[in-house]
Amino acid sequence: MLHGVPSSSAERRLRRSRLLRWSWVLAGMLLALAGGVLLAVLAGAALVPDPDPSGGWVVVGLVVQGAGLVVMTGYLVVAWRVGLFRVAWWQRQPTSVLSRAQRRGLRAQVRGRTEVDPARLPLARDLARRLVLQQYQALLIVGVVLQQVGRTIGAPTRLNVVITVLVGGGLVVAAVLMRREAGRAERFLADHPDPGSPV
């Protein structure tokens, strides 16, 4: 920031932060709404002796699945805007030449569990940047959970409920862990800024 005016890179980071925040707000609202509808369907199924889902619940289930598709499409837009495809995990990584133990040690440095090796600081910064970008993939996970919840709303069988609880719970835990890793990586990057960076 120069003379009260944010630099272009600071402005870009601020836009990314806002985009991610609003994406999470929208995805969280949709997930909460879908969970409430699922609970209403399951409570209604316990009160109504006929286990056949009504046509209305099937339509609601399809709408929730459509919302999941919207969230997954939104993930693609967010991923494109933040440059996730430019530094995708399937592309060559500087850390790919390291042994498994060296990569584990590098991850421990980024997490703050071991001292930072000055010789490997550029590699640690690269890994931290990738971990920060990985948090955007949690939006994709929310979309998948919405798809499964919509399927269960449309056909509330015991198997669908069990699958939704197990898969949905596991995916939500994975999303929380991804966000935690990204937070640690952001702290690492703040503590170890790149001298060649324009920020």
Examine residue 3 and state whether it is found in any structural domain, yes or no: no
DSSP 135: G
Examine residue 197 and state whether it is found in any structural domain, yes or no: no
- Nearest-5° angle of CA 124, CA 127, CA 128? 85
The reported pLDDT for the residue numbered 188 is 92
Q: Is the pLDDT of residue 153 over 80?
A: yes
- What percent of the chain has a predicted confidence (pLDDT) above 90? 6
Q: Is the pLDDT of residue 89 over 60?
A: no
Examine residue 199 and state whether it is found in any structural domain, yes or no: no
Examine residue 56 and state whether it is found in any structural domain, yes or no: yes
State the residue for tokens 């060559």. Answer: 92
Examine residue 94 and state whether it is found in any structural domain, yes or no: yes
Mean of the pLDDT values across residues 8-22? 68
Examine residue 116 and state whether it is found in any structural domain, yes or no: yes
pTM recorded for the entire structure: 0.69
The domain of 171 spans 8-191
The reported pLDDT for the residue numbered 3 is 56
Number of domains forming the structure of the chain: 1
Cα–Cα distance for residue pair 11/72, rounded to 1 Å: 26
Return the H-helix or E-strand segment holding 72: helix 55-82
Lowest-pLDDT range, 153-157, 165-169, 187-191? 153-157
Is 69 in contact with 147 (CB distance < 8 Å)? yes
